[in-house]
Chains A and B, each alone.
Chain A
């Protein structure tokens, strides 16, 4: 019996270590030679182009008066991944860095904490209470996962200002929601994919099947179909709701992307956080194209090896929202913040770095953008299927 028990013990250890190794799986590069399915025919039959946009209606907030934030103590609670995730945590960090530089926030008055994967709710509560009781205000929480804990913590510290990216907290007056119209930005990503595809066949890789990622998929599909009604769209989520490893697993992203490429898709859009690295490597290996998400991924150091396949990125300007929020707190005027960071306020958008978006496509995109802003096109935030 001893021996069997020992066998079980060894198996248990092996398993535990496999589990923890899986948690920190690294992208192992995309050197598998994919069977590039690059058809040379002309691409999609495109629908009529939208009327050109009237004028460049970029409502960039005029940086007029100098705002002084030197008295602020800013706390930031990141979601899983934290600074360096090449995705929306990094974008929040960029906003914080900008606030630090431009508003004169002292480095010792900034505290950044990060969530662990699969942590229990009380870990989030402790993190927020730590920040609040040490006098940090504003405290910015990144990710909807903080909504439940804010509901508890915010009323305990009525004088502390909280903000939550991607979430809303009902009934708490000291919590500012910073939410985005991801479906609008993704609509434009869908248009880009339809114009760039040679096979008239594109793909979407979502990290985790949550309502939030559903908004990306919904907008992408609608945009692609608006530009090319006959287009074929592959869609794949890496993990079901509740298993957040899908945002951190480049290997899974690579496999899913390879599958879509093999079935004919040649432009892939991902909304999969750090798993997106794998999507890019698969696209590079198979000579396909990819569209990044959240940040301007063409310029991102972590995916630099496959930057030439990145034709554009759907920008979700968490950095703008974080910076605007900190500035609004410094000015003591939260009413200037938009209710939703959408196309109109450049809260979402598309990146042109890399030069793959020519003037003609840009005009088309601006046309669609104007129609969305004017309300002629309403983008759904729920996938059709």
Chain B
């Protein structure tokens, strides 16, 4: 019971606190908070919003898993942003220029995306194990490079083609599409949302039931202790980073194979940064991350209703920011309260024993 309280109370407190904060921000800006929150909740039932939330939960979940793998061993992979972008471009170019039997085509695109994501992450990983370059710095720089590389690759004299004022990669043939679950006018759930769920299960099994997962967590807890126990820290850094990059490479696969079938200038940015926030929110636990991704997707998609009731949509950004901030604070507060409670209990027991 105490453990459960320790795990669930902080995020609940944090969400409550940030809702309060946003309510105050809304009142200050002259809007009615009840009406705004009401519009957001009722938006879920409208049109394709519910399906959009599910789809984007899948996308966020993959991004957050990629970040979480790094976090498990104290690696801060800020480069998810760049890894998924480069992977998306290369996979879209690859998928658009080959024709393979249905099924195999999609699979090949997914594998390419994962490999490219891993390769992009390999650069900071190698720099870290050979030269000791901090991965925070190098992955941020790789994000900038990713943008430039993607822009170059879709140039209409390279791999891209001009469509009006937009540029995009050649469209992937139908054999490479991944069918979704159509709910008629409510939209279509991307087939690859289930890939996100599978990745989550795989992540849990790897962390908790395999030797590799144990070594990963051990290196994260204490690198020196792990080394003394025979774990090769450099190898672990390399593998964790590659794995993180490979998963990051899959982030945009549900959208590209399920709806867009091409990479174009409208490609969404910022999913990697949201992934960092969600991994923090979920404490690197696959269940917690799922909840965080769902919350993020809900805020994103139902926030679109706010414009209709005349409330600035930016309130959603305030809310997301304050949730992350207060979650971290709340965990710390709850941890300290429990620590003092424990100390007191032990003290009492010792007194009683003496």
Are A13 and B56 also in contact (CB < 8 A) when A123-B301, A242-B269, A243-B269 are?
Answer: no
Residues of B within 8 A of A10 (CB): 328
Q: Does A147 belong to the interface (CB within 8 Å)?
A: yes
One of A111, A145, A168 near B265 (C-beta < 8 A): A145
Contact B321 A16 (CB under 8 A): yes
| Cβ-based interface call for A255 (8 A) | no
A133 within 8 A of B: yes
Report Cα–Cα, A29/B311, bound state, in Å.
Answer: 29
**Do A16 and B276 contact each other (CB < 8 Å), given the known contacts A1-B74, A1-B221, A241-B265?**
yes
User: Does A304 reach chain B (CB closer than 8 Å)?
Assistant: no
Q: B273 within 8 Å of A by Cβ?
A: yes
* Residue B130 lies at the interface, judged by CB distance under 8 Å to chain A: no
Q: Does A101 contact B (CB under 8 A)?
A: no
Which B residues from 282 to 321 make CB contacts under 8 A with A? 300-301, 304, 307-308, 313, 317, 321
**B interface footprint on A231-254 (CB within 8 Å = 1, 0 otherwise):** 000000001111110000000000
Least Cβ–Cβ distance between B130 and chain A, in angstroms: 22
Once the chains bind, are A8 and B76 in contact (CB under 8 Å)? yes
Contact A211/B74 with A121-B255, A123-B304, A167-B166 known, Cβ cut-off 8 Å: no
- A241 & B48 in contact (Cβ 8 Å cutoff): no
Those of A1-20 within 8 Å (CB) of chain B: 1, 4-6, 8-13, 15-17, 19-20
Q: Provide the bound-state CA to CA distance between A239 and B151, in Å.
A: 10
Q: Within the complex, which residue of B152, B155, B268 is in contact with A120, where a contact is CB–CB below 8 Å?
A: B268
Chain A nearest CB, measured from B342 CB (Å): 15
Contacts A1-B220, A121-B259: A113 and B264 contacting too (C-beta < 8 A)? Answer: no
- The interface on chain A, measured as residues whose beta carbon lies within 8 A of the other chain's beta carbons, has a size of 50
Given the known A-B contacts A113-B307, A123-B301, are A16 and B48 also in contact in the complex, defined by CB atoms under 8 Å?
A: no
Query: Does A212 touch B at the CB level, under 8 Å?
Result: yes
Q: Which residue of A lies closest to B47 (CB)?
A: A129
Contacts of B155 in A (CB 8 A): 241
A211 to B307, CA, bound (A): 30
Contacts of A300 in B (CB 8 A): none
Chain A: CB-nearest residue to B312: A114
With A122-B48, A130-B47, A210-B265 as given contacts, are A168 and B56 in contact (CB-CB < 8 Å)? no
Chain A residues closer than 8 Å to B49, beta-carbon distance: 126
Min CB gap B279→A, angstroms: 9
- Is B167 an interface residue when CB atoms closer than 8 A count as contact? yes
* A38 to B: closest C-beta gap in Å: 34
Q: Is A119 an interface residue (CB 8 A)?
A: yes
Interface-located stretch among B22-30, B157-165, B231-239: B157-165
Question: What is the distance, in angstroms, from A271's C-beta to the closest C-beta of chain B?
Answer: 13
- Chain A residues whose CB sits within 8 angstroms of the CB of B174 once the complex forms: none
Contact A243 B147 (CB under 8 A): yes
* Complex contact A210–B55 (CB within 8 A): no
Known: A1-B74, A239-B147, A243-B269. 11 other contacts (CB 8 A): A4-B74, A12-B324, A114-B313, A120-B300, A122-B301, A126-B47, A147-B163, A166-B164, A210-B165, A211-B166, A240-B147
What would be 21 A-B contacts, judged by CB atoms less than 8 Å apart? A1-B74, A5-B71, A8-B76, A11-B76, A12-B76, A12-B324, A13-B280, A13-B324, A15-B78, A16-B324, A17-B321, A111-B308, A116-B313, A121-B259, A122-B56, A123-B300, A126-B49, A145-B266, A211-B166, A239-B147, A241-B155
Chain A interface (Cβ within 8 Å of chain B)? 1, 4-6, 8-13, 15-17, 19-20, 111, 113-114, 116, 118-127, 129-130, 133, 144-145, 147-148, 166-168, 179, 209-212, 239-244
